[in-house]
Amino acid sequence: MIDPRSVHIDAALSNISVMFKNAAFVAEQILPVLQVQKESDKFYKYDKQDAFKLPDTIRADGTEANEASLAISTDDYAVNEHALKDIVTDRVRDNADVAIQPDIDITEWLTGLILLRLEKDMATLVTSITNITNNITLSGTNQWSDYDNSTPLSDIKTGKASVRKNTGREANTITLGGDVAETLSLHPEIKDLRKRVDASLLTDAGLPPKILGLKVIEAKSVEDQAYAGKTASLGYVFGKNALISFTDPNAGLRSLTLGRVIRAKARMTRKWRDEGRRGTMIEVSDMFVCKLIAEECGYLIAASIA
């Protein structure tokens, strides 16, 4: 049994966990974080039904102005706590060149695994044709891996038009799975665009930083997709999908945006002594849930490559 008096939040390691960055993780770029205090409550959602109805704006002399209400509704959320722990034994610490380094290594490793869970939750949410109802599934010669027949720029324009028509906003982001980004970078249409871009500005996959005005985000995180006990088989979490979206990076409580990562409290790291195992236990925990705010802000191109 752990003595509660021995458990404490380690401020230094908590800061390392919060500041941990991995370019492969893009969930919080696609779904900006909404920090909340309660683990479950209500949040505002975009209400398309009333968003574009033009109210009567004429006011007769001596009368009050007509009242306009913001087109929003509410939905419920409930965050889940995600936590992992590992031990730094005394022997490991004694053999380390710097005593604190094993703590840092474990903290960053555990944080990376929890952020991979966040990435998986985000990808599952926004690459589902059930959730993103404005979508197309490519097949055969229409897939972007067919360099002779496919028309990715036309497909992307269709996605932009869908977001514009359904929200009145211009899409500003295109998120590509790792394989999709690599494949698209070699497509003749994209190679032609690339000629007009400074090579130093190209993405890791060799894409222009913007395509048709859309910021390019490459979702490059991978997971082992094999069953437990089987040989590892790594695959991109975002799959062979492309998502065109309007994402407001500075979204407020009532802002129109595709979705949010709703997070309760800050990610934290706890430490305690485990005398029986002769080591220090380190635990990282985060409380979050991914929620759509306005699915009309997204257009999914599923199976974009073969």
Sign of CA dihedral 121, 153, 173, 192: positive
Q: How many CB atoms lie within 10 A of CB 104?
A: 15
Q: Which residue has the tokens 């869908």?
A: 162
The overall longest dimension of the chain from CA atoms, in Å, is 84
Q: Taking residues 45-60, report their average pLDDT.
A: 78
285: nearest Cα among 139, 121, 153, 111: 111
* H helical segments located in the chain: 11-19, 27-30, 48-51, 90-95, 101-126, 152-167, 178-185, 188-194
178: nearest Cα among 223, 148, 245: 223
Name the β-bridge partners of 86. Answer: 282
Phi/psi at 229 (5° precision): 90, -10
- For residues 138 and 144, is the Cβ–Cβ distance under 8 A? yes
pLDDT tier at 263 (50, 70, 90 boundaries)? Answer: very high
- For residues 294 and 48, is the Cβ–Cβ distance under 8 A? yes
- The least confident of 4-8, 158-162, 233-237, 299-303 is 4-8
- Token pair of 31, please? 């779904």
- Domains, the chain, in order of start with CATH, read 4-52+70-302 (3.90.1690.10)
- The least confident of 67-71, 178-182, 243-247 is 67-71
- The least confident of 18-22, 183-187, 195-199 is 18-22
Q: How many CB atoms lie within 10 A of CB 213?
A: 11
Q: Taking residues 224-253, report their average pLDDT.
A: 90
DSSP calls for 43-106: EEEE-HHHHTPPPP----TTSPPPP----EEEEEEE-EEEEEEEEEEHHHHHHSSSTTHHHHHH
160: nearest Cα among 151, 152, 168, 171: 171
Report the half-sphere exposure of 194 (CA within 13 A, side-chain side): 17
pLDDT tier at 209 (50, 70, 90 boundaries)? Answer: very high
**Residue 225: is its pLDDT beyond 90?**
no
Contacts of 171 (CB under 8 A, 6+ apart): 159, 160, 163, 164, 214, 244, 245, 246, 297, 299
Please give the pLDDT value at position 50. Answer: 67
DSSP calls for 262-286: EEES--EEEEEEETTTTEEEEEEEE
**Tens digit of each residue's pLDDT (9 = 90 or more) over 1-15:** 445 455 567 787 888
Residue 54: exposed, middle, or buried by beta-carbon count in 10 A (0-12, 13-18, 19+)? exposed
Please give the pLDDT value at position 1. Answer: 44
Please give the pLDDT value at position 304. Answer: 99
The pairing of strands 222-224 and 8-9 is unpaired
In this prediction the pTM is 0.88
**Residue 72: is its pLDDT beyond 90?**
no
**Tens digit of each residue's pLDDT (9 = 90 or more) over 19-38:** 777 778 999 999 999 999 99
